[in-house]
Amino acid sequence: MIVGIEGTVERRDPTFVHLNVNGLIYEVQVSINTSNVIQEKRVKLFVTQVIREDANLLFGFMDTNEKKMFDTVLKINGVGPKVGLAICSTFTPSTFAKVVASKDVSMLKRVPGIGPKAASRILVELADFIVDGNEESGNSGALGEAVMALESLGFKKDAIQKALSGCSGDTSTLVKEGLKKLQRL
C-alpha cells in the first residue's frame, strides 16, 4: 500500500499532478486546496491508494487532516473517491468539521455530486468527525467516546445523536445524560 510519494512536479492541473519519482511519473489526483498549496518543484504528498478492477488510483494531500477527511468520507456507503475529492476541494478539514457539527445540509449540498439525501446520510454517518489539532477536541473527543460507548450498548447512532445534542461535559457525564434521554425516546 502506498501511503506517501515524493518527487518532482512534471505537470500540475487543478485536479491532478504528475510526479517524477526517479524517472517514473505517477499521476496523483489532488483536491483544489492541495493543488493551490503546491508551489515548489519538489513536493511530498500523503497518499491514499484506491485499487479497483479497472484502475489503480493515487489521491494525494499536503495536509494529514485533509487525507483523514478523505479517508473518512470514503467509508460512507455511496461516497466514492470522486465525491470525496470534491468534498476536500470545497471545504478545509476544520470547516468540514464545523459543517458536520452543525449538521448543515445546505452547506454540504454545495459540493458537486451531493444531493439532499446524500448530504443527510453523510452528516449522520460523520456525526463524530474530529480534526486533529482542533482547540475544541477535548469536548469533541468526549462526545465521540460517549457515542461509541452508547453504540456498544446497542443504541442506534441517529438516536444517540438526538439524545446527545446540546449536551456537554466529560465522557461519563455524556453517557449518563445520553442514557437518561434514550430511555425517554
How far apart, in whole angstroms, are the C-alpha atoms of residue 45 and residue 85? 15
- Looking at residue 103, its amino acid is K
**Bridge partners of residue 48, in order along the sequence:** 59
Query: Crossing angle of helices 157-164/137-152, nearest 10°?
Result: 130
In the 8-state DSSP scheme, what is residue 165?
T
Q: What is the pLDDT of residue 133?
A: 47
Give per-residue pLDDT as tens, 155-184: 887 788 888 877 777 888 888 888 888 887
Percent of the chain residues topping a pLDDT of 90? 40
- Direct distance between the N- and C-terminal alpha carbons of the chain, in angstroms, rounded to an integer: 45
